[in-house]
Structure 1
């Protein structure tokens, strides 16, 4: 057993310097808007946006045409009422429109397309929790059960989905291997074009009778979907499917006995007071309509496809909706944490898929996972994103020509400028509220913030003994010089009391940064971050040496720090 512990300890030391165990490196900032980091980020965002807010015919130049593109951008923290960053632009082409708004603000309504999938999954989680993720969809959809029975004994995996294997969890995480979207965009709508391109005519029964004009009813949808071919086996690789979320909508209706429209209105929009959100077209005078209503898809009725892409919303409402997710207003904290996790990986190591999250791993000074969802429909494009590490979200809503490319450009600015600044804002607050000298009797511990992650132990002595040297001697491979030990928040908190005597205890764990690896540098194994394997590795009396607990006063300042293994509590004596 001891050799195994040494092996794990060595794995940690073989990893890169300052390799944390995942998650935030400081507590989420509570007053980010007042930090110098966010103030600089706000200025840099505005300046960078203005530099690309121009017309350009060069395909290699990222630009947003201000004459034909309207948009709203908000970045917000759950701890502050006002946005950290906001920007609204109205295209010159719509400023004199007689239909729709002439000026974009936080209440302007856009179509949000596939962001609607987040609303759909949230409704499912509110109704059943994630236990339903493991249930077969045939339990709730009689059409699927009939298809299973019809194919029994004559199943062809290339031509038919194994519907008996498909679970609700596979639908919401794009892992069912289903067709993308039955009826919509089928090229049989343009037979002359396809004939000229060399494609043969198709049989009448293979031509979808519905799509967007008119939308499919339930019977038409199942008749069409059950005749489509699978893309991949279930739970193999994620394949995007809008049809999967039409099925989830039907499942929700079976579970609740209500229409999806009534369900989303009552359980989300009314409950959260989202007055500028709707599952069907709102009044024209509150929306941005960047052209003719029928050409922009502003007035397109999504009918049974509303769960996959039919919702309308505003920047302010999307902020309120996202805050409700991050603050566990609608789900328990445990369920929210399970929801904000990857379900599958893609070919890109920095991009994973959740339910229905599109998860980007942004690498600046460290890896930060952003839980996003994009949406596109007609002349509209949108993106929402959540950063659980920072208690922050963002919304991007675009209407006009080249809306999708504008959304990506705006998303790059947010993720490239604002998100890294949040770590710096968190460092500023940690320096003010947590760093400093803690002492009791003959024991002293000093915490500092530097350019690295976490709170660094700069000094730690007890009864004349240098504890950092003691920790170094316990390593399987001691380092020369002073050991680098940093504290990171675990997310565990407990609040006791109220009023002037109220306090909160906050848990941290320390991580020791070891020397460079002994083997070939930057190999596929030696460069990995193994710290998660070693947390709690060394214990003294059933208490890990890496466990630390702060007591925080009502003003947010640390009152004391307890290195749990030493069974002491050290008062904060100075910052």
Structure 2
């Protein structure tokens, strides 16, 4: 009961109170999951309570006026890589939007426009076709005609020889908007900012990337996306052209608004914001990324990394991910936080908007499809309420699973005085190494030792192994601890320190060899034994 109350309080209070109460952890963990994700989160206390309370949180947004109840139609889908299925769905149809739904409902089969989420698929297809190595190539390798736009006047001409495919994909080419690029393509397009100086959102850059995909595939952008991604993944309800058919399940706003963007399709702009999709197909794409189905695990992990900062400490830029660096409570009821990166791509076609998000730390993702005259501002409070509800809930589900299936006492019966105690501790991330004894001698030097997954599994190199819930598997972990005494975090991180942080944990892993490595052996998600490779000890679960 105390656990459940803490979970409910954390979920309900996180959005409203976290900014005022967060405390940066002194013992900084590695970026990445704090606990194993090899379990089904859908039946956890935290996810059940998140689902129960979510409709009330939406009602609060209606009552506050942040969302227009009569105008908007929206559909939310939350999915899990552990179940490869949706774990929650919520939809709303405003009175003014009822006529726009061709089947009278907004479910995960209903097609809407996804705007700039298209950019994500453009980059996904380029990597799938040519490998992530293409990011280092100058764009003129594929579009040599762009070189004609170069000159000695760096203020008036983009020097395309300096622009790589990766610069375009990560919004760092300085190419700016699409309109003047297309109007004055050959000789008048001015740079917005110097290449690689900053990330500046660029529809124009993605129009160029669409042409790169066309050149490397020998097809149009539309044909290439279909062949490289949509067909292999079975995304039958996703397209770059307006869908049609008598049995179409879609949100078609053109029936009530002649200025609607529905059907406004231009091949030259296809890569920057043309696509139509439904929640089911976005879920398919999200699970394919989390499980590294199209790309290798190494390529997927490289792709899902920051490539630029912004003027915010918590907003980073990928290719073309919009990465939100969240500070989330490490355990239910705690105000101590750790960092977790959520990979998002937002999109908008004026009266249609969309949010697509993935949390690799937790193996969950979500999509939000909206339609309405107020759809553009509405996507942000919906992104916030979905993320602030389900991501902490997924974190707490990991804590709950660790408490039930990972923590315990483990003994090497072949060696007297050789045992290991793993704990889950309030306000601290990762498994605690309470004690590690080898032949009567302690193997740890600090009570701050925490154990974190290393992302290495005996089952497969695929990222899907990170979310595998059944069978036997061995998963590498590393012990990490800050230097003692632990100094306070920087003020910007919620701590009591100054401008600089003293977060050196990442420098210490394997510094003295494999004395910080433990291998956790699981059967159907439960930890049955632990190996300590340094000494060859094997600890069997005692209780």
Q: Take 1:169 and 1:71, find their aligned partners in 2: how far apart are those partners?
A: 33
CA distance in 1, matches of 2:531, 2:237: 48
Query: What aligned pairs does 1:172-321 form with structure 2 within 5 A after superposition?
Result: 172-182=169-179, 221=182, 223-224=184-185, 226-283=187-244, 285-291=248-254, 292=256, 294-321=258-285
Q: CA deviation at 1:27?
A: 1.1
What is the SS of the residue equivalent to 1:345?
A: coil
Q: Find the counterpart in structure 1 of residue 408 from structure 2.
A: 436
Partner residue, 1:131: 133
Structure 1 partner of 2:504 = 530
Name the residue aligned to 1:494: 458
Deviations 1:401-458 (A, max 9, x none): 2112211111111121110111110111122222111101321111111222111122
TM-score normalized with structure 1 length? 0.81
Deviation at 1:96, TM superposition (A): 3.9
Aligned equivalent of 2:382: 410
For 1:446, the equivalent position in structure 2 comes to 421
- Paired residues of 1:45 and 1:418 also in contact (CA < 8 A): no
For 1:463 and 1:130, locate their aligned partners in 2 and report how far apart those are by CA, in whole Å: 49
Aligned counterpart, 1:460: 436
Using the TM superposition, give the Cα deviation of residue 147 of structure 1 relative to its aligned residue in structure 2, in angstroms.
Answer: 2.8
Q: CA RMSD in A?
A: 2.1
Residue by residue, what CA displacement relative to the aligned partner does 1:253-273 show, whole Å, maximum 9, x if unpaired? 111111111111222222211
Q: Is the 8 A contact 1:16 1:528 kept in 2?
A: no
CA contact (8 A) 1:290 1:399 kept: yes
Residue equivalent to 1:508: 477
Answer with 1 or 2: which has the greater Rg: 1
- Alignment TM-score, normalising by the size of structure 2: 0.86
Query: Structure 2: which 5+ runs fail to align?
Result: 1-23, 329-336, 461-469, 491-495
Matched, 1:573 2:542: yes
**What is the deviation of 1:122?**
0.6
Partner residue in 1 for 2:368: 396
* Alpha carbons 1:249, 1:260 under 8 Å: kept: yes
Aligned to 2:294: 330
Q: Which residue is equivalent to 1:166?
A: 163
> SS of 1:65's equivalent?
coil
| C-alpha displacement of 1:486 | 1.2
Q: Does the aligned pair in 1 maintain the 2:110–2:249 contact within 8 Å?
A: yes
Equivalent-residue separation in structure 2 for 1:27 and 1:68 (angstroms)? 42
Paired position in structure 1 for 2:41 = 32
Contact kept in structure 1, 2:307 and 2:319, CA below 8 Å: yes
Contact 1:29/1:429 (8 A) holds in 2: no
Q: Aligned partners of 1:528, 1:306: CA distance in 2, in Å?
A: 46
Instruction: Please report how far the alpha carbon of residue 163 of structure 1 lies from its aligned counterpart in structure 2 after TM superposition.
Output: 1.4
Cα deviation code 1:341-394 (max 9, x no counterpart): 011111111111110011110112211101111001120111101111111111
Cα distance in 1, alignment partners of residues 183 and 36 from structure 2: 49
Whether the 8 Å contact between 1:62 and 1:409 is mirrored in structure 2 is no
Alignment length (residue pairs): 490
Distance 2:98 2:112 in 1: 16
Write the distance in 2 (CA, Å) between the matches of 1:111 and 1:295. Answer: 15
Q: Indicate yes or no: 2:337 matched with 1:340.
A: no
- Any idea what SS the aligned residue of 2:347 has? strand
Counterpart position of 2:91:
88
The Cα offsets for residues 453-486 of structure 1, whole Å up to 9 and x where unpaired, read as: 1111223333333434xx24xxxxxxxxxx2211
Quick check: 1:293–1:299 contact (8 Å CA) kept in 2?
Answer: no
Q: Deviations over 1:135-183 (max 9, x none)?
A: 11111113213334xx3xxx11111111111111111110101131215
In structure 1, distance between residues paired with 2:298 and 2:489: 40
Aligned equivalent of 1:423: 395
Contact 1:362 1:415 in 2 (8 A): no
